[in-house]
């Protein structure tokens, strides 16, 4: 489903710098859809921030996209990191926004070339690092 939402150029340039470790050292980026037309960067978390900080920056009752550089240990004990895109569509969000974010996700995924792990979350239990997110990441490690 195409929603006509476009990705702002700054999203792509910030992502490329993030992916390549250039410029400001970031741990995560949170995106929002502005005026139902454009995906923009809403907030960034510097390298010292944690996954809990990332989750705290997601609103309880509105949709967002979040990209985080997750460090973890694989099942065979190797340390690694992966870029993970999380689509946050909380149950308490409006139906209209949930549809808009779901329908616009492909445009963002295309702009964020190289992100191999995509997670959809509708409540905080689906954001639980140990129970939900890391098991998915380990499948791709």
Residue range 56-78, pLDDT digits in tens: 999 999 999 999 999 999 999 99
Band (123; pLDDT cuts 50, 70, 90): very high
pTM of the model: 0.93
What are the φ/ψ torsions at residue 130 (nearest 5 degrees)?
Answer: -75, -40
What architecture does CATH give domain 6-139? 3-Layer(aba) Sandwich (3.40)
User: What pLDDT does residue 24 have?
Assistant: 82
Domain extent listing, the chain: 6-139
- Over residues 98-118, the pLDDT tens digits come to 999 999 999 999 999 989 899
Grade residue 141 by pLDDT with cuts at 50, 70 and 90. Answer: confident
Q: Say which residue the tokens 């964020």 belong to.
A: 112
């Amino acid at each position: 489903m195409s929603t006509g939402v476009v990705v702002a150029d700054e999203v792509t340039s910030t992502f490329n710098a993030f992916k390549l470790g250039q410029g400001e050292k970031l741990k995560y980026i949170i995106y929002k859809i502005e005026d139902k037309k454009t995906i923009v960067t809403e907030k960034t978390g510097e390298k010292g921030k944690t996954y809990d900080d990332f989750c705290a920056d997601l609103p309880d009752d509105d949709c967002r996209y979040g990209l985080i550089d997750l460090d973890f240990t694989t099942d065979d004990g190797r340390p690694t990191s992966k870029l993970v895109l999380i689509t946050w569509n909380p149950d308490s969000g409006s139906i209209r926004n949930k549809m808009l974010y779901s329908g616009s996700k492909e445009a963002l995924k295309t702009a964020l070339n190289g992100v191999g792990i995509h997670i959809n979350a509708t409540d905080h239990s689906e954001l639980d690092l140990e129970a939900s997110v890391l098991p998915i990441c380990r499948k791709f490690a």
